[in-house]
Amino acid sequence: MVTIQNLHKKFGQNKVLSGLNLDIKEGGIFAVLGPNGSGKTTLIKAILGMVIPDKGTIHLFEKNIKNQSAYRNNIDYLPQIANFPSNLKVKELIKMIKDLRGRAANDNQLIKQFKLEPYLDKKLGNLSGGTKQKVNIVLTFMFNSPLIILDEPTSGLDPISLLRLKDLIQTEKANGKTILITSHIMSFVEEVSDEIVFLLEGQIYFKGTINELKTKTNQPNFEHAIASILTENHA
């Protein structure tokens, strides 16, 4: 589904991705992990075509995405920081995105699920961070696309919404979708993901299941396994 070959990206002097290769099969939940500045967001933005790689190719659904835009119809993306035009109302934003995609969406059900009805007529600039994130989630999940990319989906969510989000992710997985997640919350990653992709210094350091990671690092639990990778490589 996603095939990335020899991806390079530099921002000025700062090498973020250096020869990254990644192959993600269809179906399942993949967590992209790595320390700060390891290139997680850059990788995701490269898949979305928001960051243009210096070298290397990205194939999605067996097609090279270079200079393409229509393929994004098959991707739902949850950005890391929910920055929306602040003078738009929630209702208007949802309507606008639906209009831009030109597709049917199950927004009503999601609005109910995340209890957003009282906020529909409020301007996005007046919402709290957590509520904005809920709007963000509704916008992401309302289309039925085969690939879902979530960049730090848990930020700002209250415990109930977090539970609902986990349910949502599992339902989508059951529907046979491919879900890419980045997160700093290890317990969340451990709970939801089938496979993890660990980025280090712009390359894939490890790809496999959590159990494989535990055996590889000789650590009894996931958090320690991650920590041991980091100390081995930085200490």
Partner 1 sequence: MLKILKYSFYDLMRSRWNYVYFVFYFLLGMVLLFLNNDISKAVITLMNIIIVLVPLIGTIFGVMYYYNSKEFTELLLAQPLKRSSIFLGQYLGVALSLSMSLILGLGIPFLFYGLFKSNAIWNFSLLIITGSFLTFIFTALAFNIALSNENKIKGFGYAILVWLLLAIIYDGVFLMSLILFEDYPLDKFSLIGTMLNPIDLSRTLILLKLDISALLGYTGAVFKQFFGTNFGLMVSFIMLTFWVIFPVFRMVYKSKRKDF
Summarize as ranges the residues that interact with partner 1 (CB under 8 A). 11, 45, 48-52, 67, 69-73, 75, 77, 79, 83-88, 96-97, 99-101
According to DSSP, the residues that pair with 196 across neighbouring strands are 31, 208
The residue (of 13 and 69) whose beta carbon lies closer to partner 1 is 69
Closest distance of CB 7 from partner 1, Å: 13
**Closest approach of partner 1 to the CB of residue 11, in Å:** 7
Query: Smaller CB distance to partner 1: residue 140 or 161?
Result: 140
Q: Per-residue DSSP letters for the chain?
A: -EEEEEEEEEETTEEEEEEEEEEE-SSEEEEEE-STTSSHHHHHHHHHTSS--SEEEEEETTEE-TT--GGGGGEEEE-SS----TTSBHHHHHHHHHHHHTS---HHHHHHHTT-GGGTTSBGGGS-HHHHHHHHHHHHHTS--SEEEEESTTTT--HHHHHHHHHHHHHHHHTT-EEEEE-S-HHHHHHH-SEEEEEETTEEEEEE-HHHHHHHHT-SSHHHHHHHHHHHHH-
Shortest approach of partner 1 to residue 128 CB, angstroms? 17
The nearer residue to partner 1, 85 or 129, going by C-beta atoms, is 85
Nearer to partner 1, 96 or 230 (CB): 96
Min separation Cβ 152 and partner 1, Å: 15
Of the two residues 97 and 227, which places its CB atom closer to partner 1 in the complex? Answer: 97
Q: How far is the CB of 215 from partner 1 (least distance, A)?
A: 37
